[in-house]
Amino acid sequence: MNLIELNDVSISHVQGSERNTVVHDVNLTVKAGECFGLVGPSGCGKSTLLWVLAGLNPHWSGSINMLDKPLTAGKVFTGDLRRRVQMVFQDPYASLHPKHRLRRALSEPLKLLGYQDIDDRLSEGFKQVGLAENMIDRYPHQLSGGQRQRVAIIRALLLEPKLLLLDEPTSALDMSVQAEILNLLNDLKAKRDLTMVMVSHDPDVVDYMCDHAVTMKAGRIDQEKFYN
Amino acid sequence: MTNNSSLIRIENLKIGLEGGTELVKGIDFSMGRERVALVGESGSGKSLTARSLMGLLPDSLHVQADRFELLGEAVLPYNQRQWNQLRGKQVAMVLQDPKYALNPTQNIGRQVAEPLVLHQSLSKNVRIEKVEHMLDAVGLSNPAQLRKMYPHQLSGGMGQRVMLAIALINDPQFLIADEPTSALDHAVRDQVLELISSLVEERNMGLLLISHDLQQVADYCERVLVMYQGQLIDQLAASELSNASHPYTKTLWSCRPNIDKRGKSLPILNRKQIASLTEGAAR
């Protein structure tokens, strides 16, 4: 089953009245359960593509199918898609609200969805990513980078996504912490029915993690690679 | 060896917070005109150690040492004016991210010339000549044009080269590079490290290269110091790394992912084991 299908997708950034197309005619499919890698130097359009998949940039053309639903260009995500697609951002220092304790930041989406057993879910999440449960009443600045990235992963996973988008999830982290996070992602992928799309500029990380990867160059797909 | 260990000599360096929490817990090391890597995770105290060597720690931190010598001088009691004489002239530093470390409102030429203005009295023409020569030396083409450009017009790798030019323009004896490549693209990292290492060797300077990626810096240094939670837990020659005996060094050495490790989990730190080891060493 294909979780993502892109046909002739071009993506632009809109600044004022100017339209700057940075990704051109991309065709690709991502199968369910796959770890899919997007590699390339900075500025090649890999993050731009990921932002469209996350519903954060509606300025695209072509056709996109995600989780068996066609997307409409120019429209934000609606309904179930919002929950089923979650993202982990590059910089764990910038992606958690600095003035909210973790409990508040993490329970916000759960409250919105009307869950009753929020505390249980949070402590279960902390256990899954290997963090001590008593950290839940801390502020983000009281955590290390690796711990923060784990919290960002909990946040994404709490909503039981089908598709997890990872934008350079380890490039802000230490090499030893990177190993821990990559192991964690592999474990989670094995345990849950999870598809991952991972952006990275480190070819070693993609070689290690992914089942299928494309290399991008100047907004186009340059090479496609399948790992057995 | 006496000459070789004369640039920095530190014994029992402690850096602590006001409340008594120790962040660097008594480390000893000395180095001369050699290339040394200081490796450790974030929070291990490696940047604090480096900043203390530049006199750049905030007032809220207390520095103590039995011996703290830079170029043969005991610098711990220095005031800001004395530090200013030293910084940028004898000791220089390259920071992590050129996007934040360079002044966005000044052109490159002015920023590279600033150490010259502060430490030497040269005519404007000589300064410009020196700046252009330096920009050329760090591998930037067309220095005359580049002088008039601003940091946002440069790529990360170029910005890092500019920072290196600022650091080296006064021919310092000693360079501290604090994670000089972490903000850069994978492909550019090796180029920048290669450049730093070759310039340092050419000028017969000392280099303290701070990093969390042991494998990457190992090629560019002669000696490696490993820090963990404020302690210096291992020191060895870079050529010895592949048969390091300390478990922490071993893990750092082997935790980098690559295609051969697919399907296997990466080695991670056994923090309890290391904690018991370091406690044993402290006793």
Q: Is B41 on the interface with A (CB under 8 A)?
A: yes
Q: In Å, how far are B37, B40, B148, B242 from B237, measured between CA atoms?
A: 10, 16, 43, 10
Write the pLDDT tens digit of every residue in B134-151: 999 999 989 999 999 999
| Reduced 3-state DSSP string for chain B | CCCCCCCEEEEEEEEEECCCCEEEEEEEEEECCCEEEEECCCCCCHHHHHHHHCCCCCCCEEEECCEEEECCEECCCCCHHHHHHHECCCEEEECCCHHHHCCCCCCHHHHHHHHHHHHCCCCHHHHHHHHHHHHHHCCCCCHHHHCCCCHHHCCHHHHHHHHHHHHHCCCCCEEEEECCCCCCCHHHHHHHHHHHHHHHHHCCCEEEEEECCHHHHHCCCCEEEEEECCEEEEEEEHHHHHHCCCHHHHHHHHCCCCHHHCCCCCCCCCHHHHHHHHHHHHC
User: Where does residue A26 fall: left (phi above 0), alpha (psi -120 to 50 degrees), or beta otherwise?
Assistant: beta
Which of B156, B252, B266 is closest, CB to CB, to A182?
B266
Residue B1 has pLDDT above 60, yes or no: no
Residue A107 has pLDDT above 90, yes or no: yes
- As a whole number, mean pLDDT of residues B268-276 equals 78
What ipTM, to 2 d.p.? Answer: 0.74
d(CA B11, CA A77): 60
Residue B2 has pLDDT above 60, yes or no: no
- Could you tell me which chain B residue has the CA closest to the CA of A147? B42
Contact A177 B156 (CB under 8 A): no
Q: Between A and B, how many residue pairs show a Cβ–Cβ distance under 8 A? A: 64
Write the pLDDT tens digit of every residue in B83-116: 999 999 999 999 888 888 999 999 999 999 999 9
**Band of residue B124 on the pLDDT scale cut at 50, 70, 90:** very high
Which of A41, A145, A202 is closest, CB to CB, to B42?
A145
More confident residue, A94 or A64: A64
The residues spanned by each domain of chain A are 2-226
| pLDDT for position A16 | 80
Q: In Å, how far are A8, A123, A155, A170, B119 from A92, measured between CA atoms?
A: 33, 20, 12, 9, 40
Q: From chain A, pick out residues whose CB is under 8 angstroms from the CB of B212.
A: 174-176
Residue B36 has pLDDT above 60, yes or no: yes
Average pLDDT of chain A, as a whole number: 89
How much of chain B exceeds pLDDT 70, in percent?
Answer: 96
| pLDDT for position B147 | 93
Which residues on chain A place their C-beta less than 8 Å from a C-beta of chain B?
41-42, 144-145, 174-180, 182-183, 186, 201-205, 207-209, 227
Write the pLDDT tens digit of every residue in B212-240: 888 888 889 999 999 988 999 999 999 89
- As a whole number, mean pLDDT of residues B247-255 equals 88
Residue B282 has pLDDT above 60, yes or no: no
Residue B79 has pLDDT above 60, yes or no: yes
Residue B172 has pLDDT above 80, yes or no: yes
Tokens 């600044």 -> residue: A15
Residue B252 has pLDDT above 80, yes or no: yes
CA A211 to chain B, closest CA, distance in angstroms equals: 10
Contact A182 B259 (CB under 8 A): no
Write the pLDDT tens digit of every residue in A174-205: 888 888 889 989 988 888 889 999 998 888 89
Contact B268 A183 (CB under 8 A): yes
| pLDDT for position B160 | 92
Contact B259 A177 (CB under 8 A): no
| pLDDT for position B8 | 92
Residue B279 has pLDDT above 80, yes or no: no
Q: From chain A, pick out residues whose CB is under 8 angstroms from the CB of B246.
A: none
**Is A29:A56 a contact under the CB 8 Å cutoff?**
no
CATH number of A2-226: 3.40.50.300
Q: From chain A, pick out residues whose CB is under 8 angstroms from the CB of B41.
A: 174, 176-177
Q: From chain B, pick out residues whose CB is under 8 angstroms from the CB of A205.
A: 257
Contact B258 A204 (CB under 8 A): yes
Which of B100, B160, B186, B251 to mutate to probe the A interface, most A CBs <10 Å?
B186
